[in-house]
Structure 1
């Protein structure tokens, strides 16, 4: 056998060996593996269904009041109505000046009803009764709802629990700004003193009846 034939045989053997090694690998890469479409999620458990009837309110329970009428004191007293906080300050300053002039004129006289006021608090209630219940501070009565909301926001920014309620008075529809309620009257008095000093107004302490 000559050398040329041997070289051809060796080349053929090498090609066959390479085909045996690489062709199966190439075919495996091209083969598409089947996808298992069977779910592994178990069936949902059996459960009983219940039907609930719509609730009906008891006959002997009064409906809740409208939100805009809540947290209003029942014994609200009249307060000078102003259009804004600035106007309320001006009115208070004018009344204070007028009151000072009156006190100077009548400083030598005596009060005819001094005996009637003995034993009563600023709210007009007997001292013992005045400590019972809860209290709110009525800061101002404003004819402008927008001014009332601005005053409420200012008081809230200062840390007070302030809110606004609409009321019909002899002066027309007003927006009253309140702080509270407070359980103890002493707390309301402390708030009144701080607010009067800060805003230069004369606020009221009123009994709170939820």
Structure 2
């Protein structure tokens, strides 16, 4: 017979083996198995009797008649109207060159109300003027470091219309405005 020590040792090993095998399952609880459910893509679609195949017609190409000789194009340096003669040459008639009008750069008037170092103050004044119904702007539109903000009302073609608005603008803003010519190329 086996000694008491050997039987205790075998019993201890069996208890430890049972603990290692079954205790983790006992403490983990119910296991959830995630299985992705997907349908396999068939290699060839199933064709029923009611399915019909439609044939796509071949594209039709139009034939173009080309002239037997190469076409020469004659172009002057100035743009103008063009015409094609029967022999296949293109004649271009130049358009007359028009000079720009000399008075365009001084064609309007503005009332300058002030020059501000702080753009926030200038924008607040413009918002106040626009709320009162005046066409007000801050120049320059995209300020750089060190630029000053000019607040103007206008531009308008009529100098008299703007000069009559000077008193109303002074009552509204408390600033005495100056009537200046408007240059659209450099506002």
TM-score (norm 1): 0.35
TM-score (norm 2): 0.39
Between structures 1 and 2, the one with greater helix share: 1
